Amino acid sequence: MTLDAPTHYADRLCSLIRAKKTPLIVGLDPRCEQLPPSMLAGHGSLVPLAIQAQLYQQFCCEIIDAVHRLIPAVKPQAAFFEQLGPAGMMALANVIEHAKSVGLMVILDAKRGDIGSTAVAYAAAYLGARPLSPWGCDALTVNPYLGEDSLEPFVTAAKKNNAGIYVLAKTSNPGSRTLQEKIVDGQPVYSHIADLLQSMAQSTIGDSGYGIVGAVVGATYPEQLWALRQQMRNTLLLIPGYGAQGGTAADVAGGFDEQGQGAVINSSRGIIFAYERREYRAIKDWQVAVAQATQDSIAEIASETRAGRISDSVIQ
């Protein structure tokens, strides 16, 4: 055992989860029509893309400032920045840099996936620290449809750059049934993917007991989440679908191991647009509403899940 800060992705994440005493992460999914009225004031109903990009950057950076002491990581959603064209991509880069500068880990939700040298390019783009990686993320979500050889370049880059990936296994939408739940050799497709991910996680394991290959498993199917946790003992889980998508703290409970570790729970809309929610409307500053919603979600998760035991059980 060493006193140096861990460099292995899973070790870094688990260490931050213990330090912050919560597995909650905040999803940065900005939308122009839901920005705080104070930010939109003075702009007409048709805000030019370049201005929208500036507003997204300001909004996300202020959220980061409001919550960075409370949580281990943020998860920007690439699509909302891509929607604004190149100006949005510049805003995304600045948001990632700001999050890193205040000690947050950054999991970019971009669901990339391709083969050969194209997968190498995606991995080089997103995984690792600046300036080697221009986007400089700690982890990236990846789509497995193209198969095992399409995942390998991401794993190679992640290993080299102390980064991680989360591969889609069982997503939170009803349409996940179309393909992910189809039965092959007696088990659903997502379970075959889970076997593959567990083997990749095992071969990249760190001191935390987790590998650098994780899985995305939605909060909206709690029984499958529980089963996948048992099936993938060394695989970090990224659990979307908590909060606005309908998943409760009880629903995500099955995603943790006996020490309350091994998973991060993402909440996006319920937190970043908290000022729109009835229970927070009385709060004058939108940033305070965001921080309060974060604290409330942390408390809710802690009270209903084994993750509530993190602070007591795993002081190493």
- Residues near a copy of itself (CB under 8 A) are 29, 31, 49, 77, 79-80, 82-90, 92-93, 111-119, 121-122, 124-126, 131, 134-135, 143-150, 168, 171-180, 182-185, 189, 192-193, 196
The amino acid present at 141, given as its one-letter code, is: T
Q: How far apart are CB 252 and a copy of itself at their closest, in Å?
A: 18
**C-beta of 180 vs 198, nearer to a copy of itself:** 180
**C-beta of 168 vs 237, nearer to a copy of itself:** 168
**C-beta of 170 vs 306, nearer to a copy of itself:** 170
Q: How far apart are CB 63 and a copy of itself at their closest, in Å?
A: 18
100, 111, 159, 170: the active-site residue: 111
Number of Cβ within 10 Å of residue 175's Cβ equals: 8
Four-CA torsion 9, 251, 197, 157, nearest 10 degrees:
-30
Q: How far apart are CB 22 and a copy of itself at their closest, in Å?
A: 24
**C-beta of 242 vs 256, nearer to a copy of itself:** 242
Residue 216 DSSP one-character state: E
Q: How far apart are CB 168 and a copy of itself at their closest, in Å?
A: 6
Four-CA torsion 86, 90, 95, 97, nearest 10 degrees:
140
Q: How far apart are CB 256 and a copy of itself at their closest, in Å?
A: 24
Tokens of 129: 């620290």
Q: Which of 125, 24, 117 has its CA nearest to residue 78?
A: 125
**C-beta of 39 vs 124, nearer to a copy of itself:** 124
100 catalytic residue (yes or no): no
- How many Cα atoms occupy the beta-carbon half-sphere of 43 within 13 Å? 18
Q: How far apart are CB 273 and a copy of itself at their closest, in Å?
A: 12
Cβ-based burial of 107 (10 A; exposed 0-12, middle 13-18, buried ≥19): buried
**C-beta of 59 vs 256, nearer to a copy of itself:** 59
User: Alpha carbon 298 to chain centroid distance?
Assistant: 15
| 123 backbone dihedrals φ, ψ, rounded to 5° | -65, -45
Q: Which of 284, 10, 304 has its CA nearest to residue 296?
A: 304
Q: Write the CA distances from 105 to 13, 42, 81, 269, integer angstroms.
A: 8, 34, 19, 19
So which residues are the catalytic ones?
111
